[in-house]
Amino acid sequence: MRSIPTKRSADKASPTPASLTRRDATTGLPVVKPKRVQVKNACVNCQKACKKCDEARPCARCVKFGIQETCRDSERKERNRGLKRGAYKRKSSEVYESRLHFHKHHDSHYEKQSKHLLPPSSLKASLSQSTPTPPPPFSQSPQLAMAAEFDPRAGGLVTPILPAYHHIYITPAGPTDVDCVEDDLESRSPTPPKDDEEKDWNKLQVLSSLCSAVLGNKGKEPTQDRHFASSYPLKHPPPIPDLHQDPVSPPPFDSLLPHPFTNLYNYTYLPSYPLHHNHDLHHHPLSRLTHLDDNLFIKTHMTSLHHMSFLRRPWEVSEEGYDEATVLMNRYTEVGEDDHEEEGEDNSAIEQKDVCKREGLKVMGMNAFASGRGSGPRDEWTMGFNFS
């Protein structure tokens, strides 16, 4: 809430943008500012002064100035309902651009196939087609149905429920309009990888290794491709990974070929191939599925929140399992100075802690995941990570 401005004489200075990257005076290296944390509700005094408040009542600032008796929560407006917002922009066009890029510039074998079987007209046709898609083999969406908040200062996990998403402001690539892509599909030139994308990729690698460590898998690579599920048809061709970055994971062959009658893409999941969300909007080349054993695999992917999921078949997560995972998560992410002396800790755990520390990786929460089937057994364990 903005207080009524009182006159401030000769305020002509331009405020320093907080987003501006500063440099360390001695090293010259850029100093990364930690994300500012706000209280949910500032007290009336701090709000009026535009100063930092805290959760306590009276708050520290009011105590400091001896005005504790007037320290109370400020009122918050109720949010307006019924406001029309207009159509949202879609980010899924990245997928099509990525695919186009692939067809134009990668592996000649695939290129030949796609040129032959996937002329621009059929791609356009498939983009606008609206054939119903059967449900995917499992639900892959993170729903923070049950969550525990992680607070290292409080000594680990505290039990309150997390709010819904905590958005994390990392955008892999600039959003474009689908209409625009459809209209301009052929004239588009491939775009070089962006810095942000590279950073996201690095973070994904950290997530993957952390995930392996938490599960005690010690980074074991999947030994063979297995069909996770037979396949399911997609309206659009699946996204293509960047083969420069990920040369060992060719796309599943049949996914490149639209079915001759349905014109749908039969997408077969292979563990070493990036897993994609059933939701078109979530398709992202930086998704990955890693098989650990017959019943356990890891999905790492990124939407607005970096997260990864432990998936178990059959879909049963016992309370003991949940607790166990919580303990593990704490063990691998609670990074303290003297952690390395912890008894019985293996090198892998220490490594993971170092990685977390270096990358500023913080556990945000872990959730037992409630699937689209409503209440009942949890399908998926999800860990939310926050790169601060």
Interface residues for DNA in 64-103 (CB under 7 A)? 65, 74-77, 79-91
In degrees and rounded to multiples of 5, residue 351 shows phi and psi of -60, -45
Q: Rounded distance, CA 1 to CA 321, Å? A: 45
Nearest residue (CB) to DNA, 281 versus 327: 281
Partner touching 140 among Zn ion, DNA, none, CB below 5 to 8 Å by kind: DNA
Residue 207's identity, in one-letter code, is L
Nearest residue (CB) to Zn ion, 44 versus 328: 44
Nearest residue (CB) to Zn ion, 62 versus 213: 62
Q: How far is the CB of 280 from DNA (least distance, A)?
A: 4
Partner touching 79 among Zn ion, DNA, none, CB below 5 to 8 Å by kind: DNA
Q: Rounded distance, CA 223 to CA 339, Å? A: 33
Within 10 angstroms of residue 193's Cβ, the number of other Cβ atoms is 13
Q: Is 1 in the site for DNA (CB under 7 A)?
A: yes
Q: Rounded distance, CA 265 to CA 131, Å? A: 11
Q: Rounded distance, CA 368 to CA 375, Å? A: 11
Residue 182 host element (H or E): helix 178-183
Segment contacting DNA by CB under 7 A, of 114-122, 166-174, 256-264, 265-273 = 166-174
End-to-end CA distance of the chain: 26
Q: Is 52 in the site for Zn ion (CB under 5 A)?
A: no
Interface residues for Zn ion in 27-46 (CB under 5 A)? 43, 45-46
Q: Rounded distance, CA 43 to CA 61, Å? A: 10
Q: Rounded distance, CA 173 to CA 271, Å? A: 25
Q: How far is the CB of 269 from DNA (least distance, A)?
A: 15
Interface residues for DNA in 47-66 (CB under 7 A)? 47-53, 65
Q: Is 275 in the site for Zn ion (CB under 5 A)?
A: no
Partner touching 358 among Zn ion, DNA, none, CB below 5 to 8 Å by kind: none
Interface residues for DNA in 230-249 (CB under 7 A)? 235
Partner touching 133 among Zn ion, DNA, none, CB below 5 to 8 Å by kind: DNA
Within 10 angstroms of residue 234's Cβ, the number of other Cβ atoms is 21
Partner touching 62 among DNA, Zn ion, none, CB below 5 to 8 Å by kind: Zn ion
Q: How far is the CB of 346 from DNA (least distance, A)?
A: 34
DSSP output for 72-126: -BPP-PPPP-S----PPP-STHHHHHHHHHHHHHS-HHHHHHHHHH--HHHHHHH
Segment contacting Zn ion by CB under 5 A, of 23-31, 55-63, 90-98, 339-347 = 55-63
Q: Is 266 in the site for Zn ion (CB under 5 A)?
A: no
Segment contacting DNA by CB under 7 A, of 193-201, 253-261, 330-338, 370-378 = 370-378
Q: How far is the CB of 385 from DNA (least distance, A)?
A: 14
Nearest residue (CB) to DNA, 52 versus 312: 52
Using DSSP, state whether 158 is helix, strand or coil. Answer: strand
Cβ neighbors of 242 (< 8 A, separation 6 or more) are 98, 193, 285
CA distances from 118 to 100, 162, 330 (A): 11, 45, 49
Partner touching 175 among Zn ion, DNA, none, CB below 5 to 8 Å by kind: DNA
Q: Rounded distance, CA 333 to CA 336, Å? A: 9
Q: Is 59 in the site for Zn ion (CB under 5 A)?
A: yes
Out of 106, 282, 284, 353, the only residue in the binding site for DNA (CB under 7 A) is 282
Q: List residues binding Zn ion (CB under 5 A).
A: 43, 45-46, 53, 59, 61-62, 71
